[in-house]
């Protein structure tokens, strides 16, 4: 018997894990026979997985892995929570199978079910399960498997520390992006280790956006970081803190508390 849980937005203070359903085959465990120990400089083939051994000894955290004992601890999900889902976790025979959720997985349109009576349905959103799995945690063997580190940073808090530092050439290339204008003699030589790792992550994230998403994320940064705005298409960066703010924006870590309307940074809960 498999158990499907959903992790809701970090904006929620309590009850972030919800029970979605139980069944015989919700997710199929992928073939994990071809694996490589993770290293930033390594690349893998389409049929291969990176693996991290002795996961439980690491500093990474995942709420479901850390807390799960029984589904009775979690309330069933209700329709008002679906839009807050960040990822799914299917637990099956000691394996925790993870899949990220994006707005593209949630469909809320008029539709006709091609089964039974052919009637038009509306106001009944659909959650689409993706074809690919993002990560698997084999608890009995204490091994975490994943294909793309950038895809699991929102699932496993702290795992982004595995990112290699961006090289000097990569830092220089990022700082010459069309949406960045440097000031106060700020240059790649002044970028420290923490921001070099953030650049490596943000660079991958930004390059994976399509053209519309690139426009949207820049508008998002303008909204939450008005102090960086130089023009409608450019940000003024003059020190490490301003660079960090921009990089957090590319990772979409800012949000507004719904009641107090305070702008904060996700996970750190640090006022902007």
* Tokens 């590319």 -> residue: 250
What pLDDT does residue 268 have? 43
Strand partners of residue 6: 18, 88
Q: Give the model confidence (pLDDT) of 224-233 as tens digits.
A: 999 998 887 7
Q: What would the two tokens of residue 33 be?
A: 């026979």
Q: Give the model confidence (pLDDT) of 181-209 as tens digits.
A: 999 899 999 999 889 989 988 998 899 89
Q: How far is it, in rounded angstroms, from Cα 38 to Cα 41? A: 9
Using an 8 Å Cβ cutoff, are 262 and 269 in contact?
no
CA dihedral 8, 9, 11, 16 (to 10 degrees): 20
* pLDDT more than 90, % of the chain: 47
For residue 146, pLDDT over 90 is answered with: yes
Higher-confidence position of 243 and 42: 243
Q: What would the two tokens of residue 187 be?
A: 């240059």
Of 18-32, 130-144, 228-242, highest mean pLDDT: 130-144
Cα angle for residues 32, 209, 28 (degrees, 5° grid): 25
């Amino acid at each position: 018997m498999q158990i499907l849980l959903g992790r809701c937005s970090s904006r929620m203070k309590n009850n972030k894990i919800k029970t979605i359903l139980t069944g015989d085959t919700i997710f199929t465990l992928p073939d994990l026979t071809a694996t490589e120990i993770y290293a930033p400089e390594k690349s893998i083939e389409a049929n291969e997985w990176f693996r991290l051994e002795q996961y439980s000894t690491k500093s990474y955290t995942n709420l479901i892995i850390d807390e799960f004992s029984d589904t009775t601890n979690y309330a069933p999900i209700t329709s008002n929570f679906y839009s807050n889902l960040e990822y799914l976790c299917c637990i099956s025979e000691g394996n925790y199978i993870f899949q990220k959720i994006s707005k593209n997985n949630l469909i809320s349109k008029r539709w006709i079910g091609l089964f039974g009576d052919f009637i038009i349905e509306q106001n009944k959103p659909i959650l689409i399960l993706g074809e690919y799995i993002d990560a698997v945690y084999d608890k009995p063997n204490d091994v975490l498997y994943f294909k793309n580190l950038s895809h699991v940073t929102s699932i496993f808090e702290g795992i982004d520390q595995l990112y290699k530092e961006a090289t000097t050439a990569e830092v220089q290339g990022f700082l010459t992006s069309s949406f960045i204008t440097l000031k106060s003699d700020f240059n790649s030589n002044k970028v420290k280790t923490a921001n070099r790792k953030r650049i490596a992550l943000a660079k991958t994230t930004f390059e994976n956006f399509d053209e519309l998403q690139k426009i949207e994320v820049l508008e998002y940064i303008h909204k939450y970081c008005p102090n960086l705005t130089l023009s409608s298409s450019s940000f003024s960066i003059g020190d490490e803190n301003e660079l960090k703010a921009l990089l957090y924006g590319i990772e979409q870590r800012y949000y507004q508390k719904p009641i107090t309307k305070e702008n904060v940074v996700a996970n750190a809960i640090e006022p902007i």
